[in-house]
Amino acid sequence: MHETDFEYHYAFLFVACKLPELEHNKDYIDHAKWWTVQQIEDNLSTDIFTENFLSEFELVKRSGLLDTGRCDCECRLKETIQNSAFLS
């Protein structure tokens, strides 16, 4: 759980391997950017991320997924994880 002056925020981690190509809702979001782990790490102290994001990013890091790249299926996510620059 993450607590701010304004809210209590529960964060849960779900990993899905078999997803169609992800696209943001253009009616709701003007633009989006995919970040690498290195880009996130390089910008942690720039105040660009919300407190909730920082809490959730820490949860993902503690899960071990970023360190191990573990994916036991034969899907595109496994290939993406294995070929990602942030895991080399």
- The pLDDT tens digits for 25-44 are 788 887 777 788 889 999 99
pTM across the whole model: 0.55
Of the chain, the end-to-end C-alpha distance in Å amounts to 31
CA 15 to chain centre: 10
Please, which pLDDT band fits residue 85 given cuts at 50, 70 and 90?
A: very low
Per DSSP bridges, beta strands 8-9 and 2-3 are: antiparallel
Question: What local confidence, expressed as pLDDT, does residue 33 receive?
Answer: 76
Residue 75 clears pLDDT 70, i.e. is over it: no
Contacts of residues 73-79 at CB distance under 8 Å and 24 or more positions apart, as own/partner, are 73/17, 73/18, 75/17, 75/18, 76/17, 77/17, 77/18, 77/19, 78/17
Residue 57 vs residue 67, higher pLDDT: 57
